[in-house]
Amino acid sequence: MNSETLNSTSLNSKFATSQSMDTASIRQQFPILHRTIRGKRLAYLDSAATTQKPQVVLNSLQQYYSQINANVHRGIHFLSEQASQAYAESRTTVQKFLNAKEARECIFVRGTTEAINLIARCFGEAFVGPNDEILISEMEHHSNIVPWQMLAKRNGAKLKFIPLNPNGDLDLSNLEELLSERTKILAITHVSNAIGTLNPIKMIIDLAHTKGIPVLVDGAQAAPHLKIDVQALDCDFYTFSSHKTYGPTGVGVLYGKAHWLEKLPPYQGGGDMILKVTMQESEYNQLPHKFEAGTPSIAAVIALGTALNFLMNLDREAIRQHEENLLQLTEKMLSNFPGIQIIGSPKQRLALLSFTMKGIHPHDIASIVDQEGVALRAGHHCAMPLMDFFAVNGSSRVSFGLYNNEEDIAQLAHALQQVQTLFKGRI
């Protein structure tokens, strides 16, 4: 394919073909899964941290840099026009993925963390003052805690929390009282990154809206697994990261209702976010460009469009059922191990779980199973308040992607047997 025939459509969808859920054929599309690790097949069970990338995404990155590498929105020449078109089409793909009303409501950022920081900074500057309240929950990732702590300290506001119950669900019995006349925004995770709790996000949003309170949803762990419809949810802001959704690192999405985004000041100053600049003042650009200062991660944005097309062309419900089956199989397998305790038992758990093993540090578990080719996450998972709630210093986390299969679970079981053998007497 030469540069004359390559276009944005080929970059975004050429390699994404429709197919039903077929794990074997899907796995063939992820080159890294063909690797051996320490002489063993790779059982990658850390997709909540970052998903692996299908060949279509790798091709998209390579095609951009080898065929149309140019800056967007600023060049009149052919390559810049192609890059700009591909970049714009990725935004349209994101709009479709989220079912946003308008493409301009979809802002490209570096990831979920930057998206939340953007809203904490810009919304906070515009709407949060002394003695106002910000409501989050005790199960949040640090990325949905620290920016609000910073805002509260900066503006003299108060940070309040929705508590957890012993099962690992949110205790919503007092939510109406927590949503006070002083509450300026509610920021809540769709799915816990540490224990997998799937929150009743629509009900929470609806209740907040009865009091005129906007809601930001951290969708980092939900977007890879669920069909997200921001219009049906009626959330005011929604965020997710490319690298957790089978796309490249360094890019993510902030969705915001247009009427909110138009009210907010810019996050950063620089090129592309302005219409006119004098030495005295600047006139800011329209959405979405107002929030996209400087040269963006163009290749990653285009490849994110490819990743989302790849995902949307699969049977999403079949994927969810497949991942649910793996989760149930893993829960059953872990329940047969003496000394293993799964953290929490929420009403609904999505695509991941965490566990402890009596007398064995999570880092030791992760190190030993790594010798058997199994990739787990170990630690506090950037959710220290949740770990404190369950009175553990950390845990081992198993998380799934659409490419995982029962062989991965069997390999994990064998690896955990090796852990028990090495630590015999402590369990």
292-327: per-residue pLDDT in tens?
A: 999 999 999 999 999 999 999 999 999 999 999 999
**Among 361, 396, 324, 329, CA closest to 46:** 396
Q: End of a domain among 312, 333, 364? A: 312
- Count of CB atoms within 10 A of residue 167's CB? 13
Same domain, 193 and 144: yes
What pLDDT does 274 receive?
A: 86
Same domain, 267 and 198: yes
Per DSSP, the residues of 86-115 read HHHHHHHHHHHHHT-S-GGGEEEESSHHHH
Q: End of a domain among 312, 330, 365? A: 312
Q: Which of 6-10, 67-71, 114-118, 213-217 bottoms out in mean pLDDT, i.e. has the lowest?
A: 6-10
Same domain, 244 and 364: no
CATH number of the structural domain spanning residue 362 = 3.90.1150.10
Same domain, 238 and 338: no
CATH number of the structural domain spanning residue 304 = 3.40.640.10
Same domain, 163 and 257: yes
pTM of the model: 0.93
Same domain, 255 and 336: no
Tell me, yes or no, whether 243 lies in a domain: yes
What pLDDT does 72 receive?
A: 94
Helix (H), strand (E) at residue 308: helix 298-312
Question: What is the pLDDT averaged over residues 213-220?
Answer: 98
The arrangement of strands across the sheet holding 352-357 comes to 340-342, 352-357, 395-399, 377-379
Tell me, yes or no, whether 290 lies in a domain: yes
Q: Cα 362–189–343 angle (5° rounding)?
A: 30
Q: Which residue has the tokens 């995404």?
A: 57
Q: Is the dihedral of CA 39, 28, 349, 226 positive or negative?
A: positive
> Distance (Å, rounded) from C-alpha 388 to C-alpha 289?
41
Tell me, yes or no, whether 70 lies in a domain: no
Same domain, 304 and 360: no
Tell me, yes or no, whether 25 lies in a domain: no
On the question of pLDDT at 3 being above 80, the answer is: no
> Is the distance from CB of 225 to CB of 86 less than 8 angstroms?
no
Expressed as residue numbers, the domain containing 115 is 78-312
Amino acid type, 12: N
What pLDDT does 4 receive?
A: 37
> Distance (Å, rounded) from C-alpha 361 to C-alpha 371?
16
Residue in 106, 122, 235, 382 annotated catalytic = 382
Helix (H, G, I), strand (E, B) or coil at 37: strand
> Is the distance from CB of 121 to CB of 267 less than 8 angstroms?
yes
Same domain, 115 and 159: yes
What pLDDT does 425 receive?
A: 59
More confidently predicted of 19 and 286: 286
Asked if 382 is an active-site residue, the reply is yes
**Pairing assessment for the beta strands 395-399 and 352-357 based on DSSP bridges:** antiparallel
Tell me, yes or no, whether 391 lies in a domain: yes
Helix (H), strand (E) at residue 356: strand 352-357
Q: End of a domain among 257, 287, 312? A: 312
Tell me, yes or no, whether 300 lies in a domain: yes
198 confidence band (pLDDT: 50, 70, 90): very high
Residue 190 Cα distances to 222, 224, 236, angstroms: 6, 12, 14
DSSP annotation of 282:
E
Same domain, 271 and 325: no
What pLDDT does 21 receive?
A: 62
What pLDDT does 424 receive?
A: 82
Same domain, 308 and 320: no
- Count of CB atoms within 10 A of residue 10's CB? 17
Q: Which of 14-28, 38-52, 66-80, 194-208 bottoms out in mean pLDDT, i.e. has the lowest?
A: 14-28
Q: How many C-alpha atoms does 138 have within 13 Å on its Cβ side?
A: 16
On the question of pLDDT at 79 being above 50, the answer is: yes
Q: Tens digit of pLDDT for each residue in 98-111?
A: 999 999 999 999 99
**Among 361, 406, 338, 349, CA closest to 194:** 349
Tell me, yes or no, whether 64 lies in a domain: no
Same domain, 128 and 189: yes
Residues of the chain with pLDDT > 70, as a percent, come to 94
> Distance (Å, rounded) from C-alpha 114 to C-alpha 34?
33
Same domain, 123 and 173: yes
Q: Which two tokens stand for residue 260?
A: 């909110």
**Among 192, 230, 234, 244, CA closest to 213:** 234
Question: What is the pLDDT averaged over residues 160-166?
Answer: 98
What pLDDT does 275 receive?
A: 85
Tell me, yes or no, whether 71 lies in a domain: no
Q: Which two tokens stand for residue 316?
A: 């999403």
Mean pLDDT of the residues in the chain: 93
What pLDDT does 426 receive?
A: 60
5 confidence band (pLDDT: 50, 70, 90): very low
Question: What is the pLDDT averaged over residues 179-195?
Answer: 98
Question: What is the pLDDT averaged over residues 374-380?
Answer: 96
Question: What is the pLDDT averaged over residues 331-335?
Answer: 96
Question: What is the pLDDT averaged over residues 408-418?
Answer: 96
- Count of CB atoms within 10 A of residue 335's CB? 11
On the question of pLDDT at 90 being above 60, the answer is: yes
Distance of CA 95 to the CA centre of its chain: 16
Number of domains in the chain: 2
> Is the distance from CB of 397 to CB of 412 less than 8 angstroms?
no
Q: Is 11 exposed, middle or buried (0-12, 13-18, 19+ CB in 10 A)?
A: buried
